Homo-oligomer: A and B are copies of this chain.
Amino acid sequence: MKRLGKKTVALTSEPHIIETSSIVGKKEGEGPLAKYFDFILEDEYWGEKSFEKTEIKILKENLNKVLQKAKKTPEDINYILAGDLLNQCISSSYAVRESEIPFIGLYGACSTMVESLAIGSMLVDGGFADNIIAMTSSHFCSAERQFRFPLEQGTQRTPTAQWTVTGSGAAIVSTEQKGPKITHVTIGQVVDMGIKDANNMGAAMAPAAADTIYSHFNETGRDPSYYDLIVTGDLGIIGGEILKDILLKNDINIKGRYNDCGILMFDSKAQDTHAGGSGCGCCGSVFAGYLYNKLQQKELNKILLVATGALMSPTAIQQGEAIEGIAHAIAIEN
């Protein structure tokens, strides 16, 4: 470990992401990334009686799947780090209850996939663990009900709205020497730019992403050309444009090397997802499915993965507060 600045540490042992697993919903399985996911659901319920129970099942089965794929047992895992969007992070805590693995609960909204990989890789780098599992999930139906309107109401969605991904990503970070390495961690700060529109989360998160990316380049001495891809968690189409603009004003040009998990997940026009995908499971499954595959195939060799979270509370918004954003970044390299 070497501290490079206020927000960034270089992980000198370079923990490896030895395996990932992804499960997504039916709609996500009809999108452009379908072939990269391990399992695609046939409907919203997967045999469960509520959307929340379905989300718990998705995360639990994804935990089992990543263990199987890596040929590991729960006894091999020192810590699970997980969080999700549901109140009290119930998907995570119910998903792990039979595993008997020490559990570190996180809350970072849609930044959780990278928050869990970041903290987990620091624990591996610091010698506290040989293997950790980082994971998260979201479900379109449980998220809409909790954060916006019941689906039965048929509320029209605004052009800036994003579509919460039904899905989960899980990854094992290990001292074993195989797979891509996590070389740098940049932990972000909470940024509040006064956005109050729960249907424009990209705008709420973009300033936080810009702050984290700016800090990463500033503290590592790298510039955008170092990376094959700089990929944000789920700013979507509108947030992504705002991010590029903010960075350009700070003399950082990421055009041509930038993409976003929320943009990658859906064919926005054909699938009517407006500004793109969102939710913890968006960055989770796009990373664990598509991006990890591209890293393994050496089609990508150096990526900066920046998961962004809108720390959005319906109660706080009703009380006049703005939606805060946060973003954490990890550099993943072959």
Contact = CB atoms under 8 A, between A and B. Distances in A.
Interface of A: 1, 3, 6-7, 9, 49-50, 52-53, 75, 78-79, 83, 86-90, 93-94, 96-97, 99-109, 115, 119, 122-123, 125-128, 187-192, 311-316, 319, 321, 324, 326
Nearest to A99: B189
A210 to B, nearest CB: 14
A208 to B, nearest CB: 10
Given A103-B189, A122-B123, 14 more contacts: A50-B319, A83-B105, A87-B88, A87-B313, A89-B311, A93-B311, A96-B190, A99-B189, A102-B189, A103-B326, A104-B187, A105-B326, A119-B119, A125-B126
Contacts of A3: 127-128
Q: Which of A102, A127, A313, A315 has most B Cβ within 10 Å?
A: A102
Copies of this chain per assembly: 2
A79 B90 CA distance: 26
B122 A126 contact: yes
Nearest to A326: B103
Contacts of A125: 126
B52 A319 contact: yes
Contact of A94 (B87, B127, B316): B316
Given A102-B188, A190-B96, A107 B88 contact: yes
Nearest to A215: B102
Q: What DSSP secondary structure best describes chain A's contact surface? A: mixed
Contacts of A109: 88
A115 B119 CA distance: 13
A316 B100 CA distance: 21
Contacts of A78: 6
Contact of A313 (B49, B86, B316, B321): B86
A12 to B, nearest CB: 10
19 contacts: A1-B127, A1-B128, A3-B128, A49-B319, A79-B187, A87-B88, A93-B324, A97-B190, A97-B191, A97-B324, A102-B187, A103-B187, A103-B188, A104-B119, A106-B107, A119-B119, A123-B126, A125-B126, A126-B126
The 7 A-B pairs of least Cβ separation, nearest first, read A126-B126, A102-B187, A107-B107, A88-B313, A105-B107, A87-B87, A93-B311
Contacts of A97: 190-192, 324
Nearest to A122: B128
Contact of A108 (B9, B105, B122): B105
A49 B96 CA distance: 38
A7 B104 CA distance: 12
Contacts of A115: 104-105
Contacts of A106: 104-107
Nearest to A96: B190
Contacts of A88: 87, 107, 109, 311-313, 316
A75 B104 CA distance: 27
Contacts of A191: 97
A93 B190 contact: yes
Contact of A90 (B1, B188, B189, B316): B316
Nearest to A316: B90
